[in-house]
Structure 1
Amino acid sequence: MVYALDLDVRPGSGLGVFELGASLWNVLDLLRRLQHSFPQVDVKYDVESGAITPLVLYIRPHLELLFSGKTQRLHTIVLRKLRIAAGEPPVTLRYKDVILSSPEDVLKRVFVSRTFGPTYPSGDDLRSDLRYPGLWFSFVEDGVADPLKAVEDPRMQEVKRVIISQKVREGEERDALGEPIECAVMKGDIIRAVAKVHEGVALYFYPSDTPPLHIKLGETTTQDLTLDLGTPNRVHYQDDVRMTEIHGSTRVGENSESSYFYNYFQHGIDFMLSPAHVVVKIILHTNVPGSPLFQRYKRCNWEIEGKPEDDEDDTPPCKRFYERFETISHFLSPREPPPSMLLDRTDDEEALTLPNATSHLYGYDGVVLEVSESSQVLAVMLF
């Protein structure tokens, strides 16, 4: 069955069910729930540096969603093929109460000007694209014009692509592959997680003026987590002790067989709690495309903070999730990396093939790193 799409365009804000600034984790979760409307989704990313490079969702045949490299947030929406071939889902595009385009209505330059008002073309040619704050109409397919199809009357040019991005102030320039600016859809999400070895983690939330939340190893309780972060998505009782055993020690009073996890997938964090219901381990997930746990957790923008050089140092050194394993390893210990354990999370998934199925676990004093074959740190565990 072919489902029609009815999309409202919101300049600088979004298109249909998609909001600029939304996280990749939330958007893919939304697409799973709307498979009848969006049955074919392809994920394109850089296999070697997926932790830092932009990612694109191709929702065929109409939509391309560009996500930023570091925060994995929706940066740009592209709507293509407003007029499609037989058998493909038709699309209706609206702006407020006005139908811009539909199977019966062809969107042309003259109607764009009537609806949105005058603006300067994006180039010297009168046939060039029309750009409004947060909205861009292109009259060529995929950025390549066909001179054989030139229209004598520029006003009758047919819109081929519609691009929605965040609005910028007059005179301001923004990187087309940069990070989205803070907006309402980010409220309640973690901006960054500052991990301190042997201590815990400080969580900073949107809005950016929200005071940080401190989760302390050996002190924060189950009740504290529930009050501060809400009910976890899942409570999991441990049946794989490899992450526990790699560092070769356990805390006093900790029984790994009766410990359990609070999984906060929407924050990209797991907390391991002792039988006494106190946090004893914290796992921060990077959500690297192509890894076995991709999309189970939202990306946690973590950094490991070192000790300040002196009492007056307000900017202690730190290493961030997107830095290579070798750099983070040297930061944790200047010696050679310790021996690693091999972990294949696809052992029980015979039909699953991934470019980074196998990872290595490296244990340090108070820290365990899970590292992909391409030297990307997939997760960091504090204990």
Structure 2
Amino acid sequence: MYSTLDVDIRPGLGLGIFDIGASLWMVLDRLRNLQHIFPQIEVKYDPDASAITPIILHVRPHLDLLFSGKGQRLHTICVRKLRDPNPPVTLRYKDKIISSDNVILRRVVVNRTFGPTYPGDELRYPGLWFSFEDDAIGEGALQGLAGADKTQEVKRVFISQKGNDGKVGDALEEVKECPLMTGDISRAILKIHDGIVLHFYGHANRILHMRIGETTAQDLTLDLGPPLRVHYKEDERMAIHSATKKSNPDEDGAYFYNYFQHGLDFLMDGATHIVRKIVVHTNLPGSPLFQRYKRCYWEIEGTPEDDEDDSPPRKRFYDRFETISHFLSPREPPPSMHLDRTDEEENLTLPSPATRLYGYDGIFLEVTESSQIVSVVLF
């Protein structure tokens, strides 16, 4: 028996521990640490376009969390099955209980609590609306309902950003920048044979340029803070493909600085402690690396047409492999190598676990069977 889910409604801002604008990576990480409260979680997504389509977390039995497709930010929260006692759910607004196992939330209570609103079949307020039907978040949530009986029972409650009125098109829009995003990477521009340029939310003038063969471990710590993990490189399976004559290319003790919260890895030289490679992650649902890293909003920058071109061509994380491959090399894609990251994970079963590695001059791509990019490595 699980305890009552007791949460406060914050119109336009969130519900309980869930904040509008929070990243999918952060929310899932928090839920993982609260399994005693949220024991059943289901992730729903479009496997053929998971880089651009919304993702829904079903936190059974009461919560549906809708995340925007590209930014993977919490867009809309739906509270449903208000009368389900397993476990019971209590909703509060400004410390006042408006719904619980023995308090039924009705239309008249909403009117008294939140005041007048525009006429309609649903009760809508800025960043908050109430529905009187039990439908999935993607169906009845965004449609009008009939009836205006004062005793009508509320079946679902929705919280979203203010200005979002719940129409169908809004569910596909990205979450607007909000204070919660401050300090997160807003754009990561990949420059082949150079490095990565990082832009941040809330700091328009803060731009960091990490260069391969130049940026040091100390630079990374000063600019990005200490990594969440330092991992010493032990996997030598790619050494057989190396052109070097060294029997062990990594005998210098190379190690990774893992910034899971930014979707970034930096491979550091064990002797000089200078960046050798940079890895960016797309956090695709259904891929073996899903939820290990936050999505990095990366762009691959091409060569400007001339010296006066201040907007060089770029391809982004949601572009298909064929488009990015032609961008990197107009010729046929290079031969690929097969990779199955579940080979060493006995208890991990995925519908399409295999990816392919494609190498180009200064960059290689890890690609799913549906032509989506899992990760990019600059070297």
Amino acid across the alignment from 2:111: S
- Offset at residue 372 of structure 1 (A): 1.0
What's the secondary structure of 1:175's corresponding residue?
A: helix
Secondary structure of residue in 1 paired with 2:359:
strand
User: 4+ runs of 1 displaced by more than 3 Å?
Assistant: 150-153, 241-251, 254-257
Q: Distance in 1 between matches of 2:131 and 2:241?
A: 55
1:133 aligns with 126
1:222 maps onto 2:223 in alignment: no
Partner of 2:23: 23
In the comparison of the two structures, how many residue pairs are matched? 369
Residue pair 1:292, 1:345 contacting (<8 A) in 2 also: yes
Query: In the aligned structure 2, how far is the partner of 1:262 from the partner of 1:224?
Result: 12
* Residues 1-383 of structure 1 aligned to structure 2 (within 5 Å): 1-85=1-85, 88-122=86-120, 128-142=121-135, 154-168=149-163, 175-207=170-202, 209-242=204-237, 248=243, 255=250, 258-274=253-269, 275-383=271-379
Structure 2 residue runs of 5 or longer lacking an equivalent are none
What is the identity, as a one-letter code, of the residue corresponding to 1:349? E
Counterparts of 1:289 and 1:208, CA distance in 2? 29
Alpha-carbon offset, residue 356 of structure 1: 2.6
Secondary structure class of the residue paired with 1:115: helix
In the alignment, which residue of structure 2 is the partner of 1:125? Answer: none
Counterpart amino acid of 1:319? K
**Contact (CA 8 Å) 2:183, 2:203: kept in 1 or not?**
no
CA contact (8 A) 1:247 1:363 kept: no
Q: What displacement does 1:208 show?
A: 5.0
CA-atom RMSD, angstroms?
2.3
Q: Deviations over 1:353-381 (max 9, x none)?
A: 11231111111000010111111110000
TM-score by length of 1: 0.91
Structure 1, residues 63-117: CA drift from partner, whole Å, max 9, x if none? 00000110111000000011115xx100110011211111111111111111111
Secondary structure of the 1:9 match is strand
- Residue 315 of structure 1 and its aligned partner are, at CA, apart by 1.2
- Check the 8 A contact 1:82/1:161 in 2, yes or no: yes
> For residues 97 and 377 of structure 1, do their structure 2 counterparts lie closer, same or farther at Cα, with a shift above 3 Å needed?
same
Scaled by the length of structure 2, the TM-score of the pair is 0.92
* 174 and 248 in structure 1: CA distance in 2 versus 1, 3 angstrom threshold: farther
Q: Is the 8 A contact 2:164 2:170 kept in 1?
A: no
Listed as ranges, the gaps of 5+ residues in structure 1 are 123-127
